[in-house]
Structure 1
Amino acid sequence: MTSLTATETATLERAADAPMLAQVERWAAVNSGTGNLAGLKNVVGQLADSFAALPGDLRLVAADPVESVDAAGRVSTIQRGDHLHVRVRPDAPVQLLLTGHMDTVFAADHPFQNLTWLEPGVLNGPGTADMKAGLSVILAALTALEASPLAERVGYDVMINSDEETGSHASARLIAELAAGKNAALTYEPALPDGTLAGARPGSGNFSVIIHGRAAHAGRNPEEGRNALVAAADLAVRLNALKSLELKVNPARIDGGGPNNVVPDQAILRVNLRPATPEAMVAAGTALRDTLAHIQRDHDVHCHLHGGFNRPPKPLDPAATRLFELVRDCGAALGLPPIRWNATGGVCDGNNIAACGIPVVDTMGPRGGAIHSSDEFLIVDSLAERAQLSALTMIRIAERGTV
């Protein structure tokens, strides 16, 4: 380590000594897929017990209701799990937000349930990298910070939500509430195996279009029908044609249809749009509505649009760039390989935080890879490395009083 004060060195030693691996193994052993309410209740209870070691107020926050459209076109409300919120020193001069998520993409009946050592120091398991390990890093870094003489200068909110993997619809309001007025935010998605961070991110919107046509006999009077399935297919092709450098479009699924001798009167198209910039997001919304109007006119059907842009684009503005540079410089002080950041096509809660005007680095978690697959792995040595990186970043923000 270089360029470190005695106070920083003592804090970093505490961060590295935290029992992070044991926590990861314990938390990842419980399935907490976004829809597994029992598993999420188990995990949030364990997290509450662990994070109660921090000073301040800890609470469980009920999830906001989430609207969903099923394969039959019925709109219903989905229940999500509770979110965890810890607030410490809200009147301190420097205010930070640290966020993570307890849910995984693996459902309760998914075959990927167990932890396996792929080789010494590389742990395979559901949520090991994304992001049970990131949660352990948050706790280790904050516990070390609390032992520092600089702790009184820093207040923070920790938010661990239960629905990040499905878009944070049930926690977006809470994220925006906690982001307000913060100097900076750190989110604990995993870094790439070589330590590279995610920089700019596109936005993301998930939409369901319910198309109502008119049923008719496929042989006797098909001309009296209005084929909703054909309209949905045409809509998918037209939306796909909107692709550009500024907009990614993925028509993902069509539900609908029935017997071969019936003109289908209903279909549902699911589509994901990823605009690169705020301007592209506005243009995409306009293009989507215009395309729906053309489909209704050309096919004589009615379209009902559900969903929206739940992740705004996250460009790198000057404040965010300064925060990235601070993290890079802290990595250099720790003797880590040079920390770089690249634009990525993925989205996360960092998008929501950046939309509030708060600089955020959203890949402060340990190094790992193959997330969202049964090959997911955590590089265990990076637990201590990333806990120290977070602790030093927060200390230096406290010393400066700003990013």
Structure 2
Amino acid sequence: MGLEQDEQQALAPIDGAAMLARVEGWCAINSGTRNLPGLARQAQALADAFAALPGAVTLVDPAPVRMIDAAGREVAQAHGQHLLVRVRPDAARRVLLTGHMDTVYPADHPFQFARWLDADTLNAPGAADMKGGLAVMLEALLALEATPAAPRLGYDVLINADEETGSLASAALIAQLASGRVAALTYEPATAPDGTLAHARGGSGNYSVVATGRSAHAGRNPQDGRNAVLALADLALQLKWLAGPELSVNPAKIEGGSANNVVPDHAVLRFNIRPQTTGAAERFAVDFARIVAGVAAEHEVQLHPHGGITRPPKPVDARAQRLFDLVQRAGADLGQHFGWRPSGGVCDGNNIAAAGVPVVDTMGVRGGAIHSPDEYMIVPSLAERAGLSALVLHRLASGELP
């Protein structure tokens, strides 16, 4: 392994058993995005753990978020507080590390407990996505702080409480913290159990369209009604026809209607798009406006769109590729050999890249089956990936990335 003596010093403090204990404790806290009491407990547990770093630990209130409810009304959506740690904010070289404390498992979900699948594999809610990643991040930073290189690198840690629902309550904070950073690391799990990193990512947008028609009796005078459900069904079909190699469209839900003998005068369509490029996102915006206008005229209803792109597409430019190469070289020097591949998923790495900062966003543990009751973490990857991050951070502190 091609490690300098001070780099070997950076790896010495890594404690896999301590990391596992943290993960097991954190996974025992339900922190589904909508479980605000659970998120508060998780945030405090993380604040206690990250207080071991030599910086200010604060809990930041979420930005206001509004959503469209089933009645078509715009209402406030509550979120948990975000954890922010700032270490050496005046340093000339600064990086951003991000993660999330929320999971996709609500408080009433049956998947609440951990179990061992074998001696190396832990099945637990959030173990891979991404409480294991948070343990990796913390351990790597603690290892960095034990080296003479630490004073040369400043960093901010942001652990948000709403990543699983699009980071709407933290997107502005992410953009603010990313500004001017040399690089960023995000601790989503590897895309495969072999440690493969996500490379380029497509984008994502969530939309709601509220339709207002006119009710009527379905038998006596249906011609006087204007069917909101039918209008949105037509809209969903037309949107689906926009899909192609650079854009997927997923009409996910239509809410509305009442009794079978009433022409429905209200409905809400919810759908998601996944543009692979900025150009595809821009073309969709034009096509969407055209289709909405056409359906509204055809069905004589009012259509009110809400939402938009929440995760811009994340291409990998030359600066970002240099960071990928740095991470891969560090892995090879540790005997870890992995590549990368494009991903259809999105995360806070999309937002960081949109701020013009190179980012590798799958620095977390090896595991799989995320977002399901089969989610698992490969336990030896805790120490393995902590070592990788510690070495990458040490090399960033030493100026390896221009």
Residue matched to 1:73: 72
**Partner residue in 2 for 1:84:** 83
Distance in 2 separating the partners of 1:364 and 1:18: 19
Q: Which residue of 2 is the match for residue 292 of structure 1? A: 292
Structure 2 residue aligned with 1:144: 143
Residue number in structure 1 paired with 2:39: 40
> Number of residues paired by the alignment?
401
Give 2:9's aligned amino acid. A
TM-score under structure 2 length normalisation: 0.98
Paired residues of 2:16 and 2:380 also in contact (CA < 8 A): no
TM-superposed deviation, 1:88: 0.5
Determine if contact 2:16/2:382 at 8 Å carries over to the other structure.
no
Q: Deviation above 2 Å: which 4+ runs of structure 1? A: 15-18, 400-403
Q: Is the 8 A contact 1:202 1:344 kept in 2?
A: yes
Q: Report the counterpart of residue 279 of structure 2 in structure 1.
A: 279
2:62–2:82: 8 Å Cα contact kept in structure 1?
yes
Checking the alignment, whether the CA contact within 8 Å between 1:16 and 1:388 is kept in structure 2 is: no
In 2, are the aligned partners of 1:18 and 1:140 still within 8 Å (CA)? Answer: no
1:149 partner SS: coil
Match of 1:197 in 2: 197
Tell me the distance in 2 between the aligned counterparts of 1:160 and 1:334: 27
> Paired residue for 2:4?
5
Identical positions, percent: 59
Q: Measure, in 2, the Cα distance between the counterparts of 1:393 and 1:285.
A: 39
CA contact (8 A) 1:94 1:401 kept: no
Aligned to 2:237, what secondary structure does the other structure show? helix
User: Per the alignment, in what secondary structure is the counterpart of residue 12 of structure 2?
Assistant: helix
CA distance in 2, matches of 1:213, 1:150: 65
Q: Which residue of the partner structure matches residue 176 of structure 1? A: 175
Corresponding residue for 1:213? 213
Q: Secondary structure at the match of 1:365?
A: coil
Which one is further off, 162-171 or 215-224?
215-224
Deviation for aligned residue 1:402:
2.8
Look up the SS of the partner of 2:365 in the other structure: strand
Q: What secondary structure sits across from 1:366 in the alignment?
A: coil
SS of the aligned residue for 2:292 comes to helix
1:236 counterpart = 2:229: no
Aligned pair 1:346/2:345, yes or no?
A: yes
Q: Distance in 2 between matches of 1:196 and 1:17?
A: 21
Question: Which residue of structure 2 aligns with residue 402 of structure 1?
Answer: 401
Ranges in structure 2 where 5+ consecutive residues have no aligned partner: none
* Two-structure CA RMSD over aligned residues (Å): 0.9
Larger deviation: 192-201 or 98-107? 192-201
The answer (yes or no) to whether the contact 2:179–2:355 under 8 Å persists in 1 is: yes
Match of 1:251 in 2: 251
* Deviation sequence 1:316-369 (CA, Å, 0-9, x none): 111111111110000000011x21110011000000000000000000001010
Residue 29 of structure 1 is matched in structure 2 by: 28
Please state whether the residue corresponding to 2:59 is helix, strand or coil. strand
Distance 1:130 1:54, change over 3 A: same
**How far does residue 286 in structure 1 lie from its aligned partner after superposition?**
1.4
Task: Report the CA distance between 1:93 and its aligned residue.
Answer: 2.0
Quote the residue 1:107 is aligned against: 106
Task: Give how far 1:249 is off.
Answer: 0.5
1-side partners of 2:54 and 2:399: how far apart? 23
Structure-2 separation of matches of 1:252 and 1:212: 19
How far did residue 86 of structure 1 move? 0.4
Q: Which residue of 1 aligns with 2:309?
A: 309
Contact 1:93 1:401 in 2 (8 A): no
1:154 maps to 153
TM-fit CA distance, 1:400: 2.2
Contact 1:16 1:385 survives alignment (8 Å): no
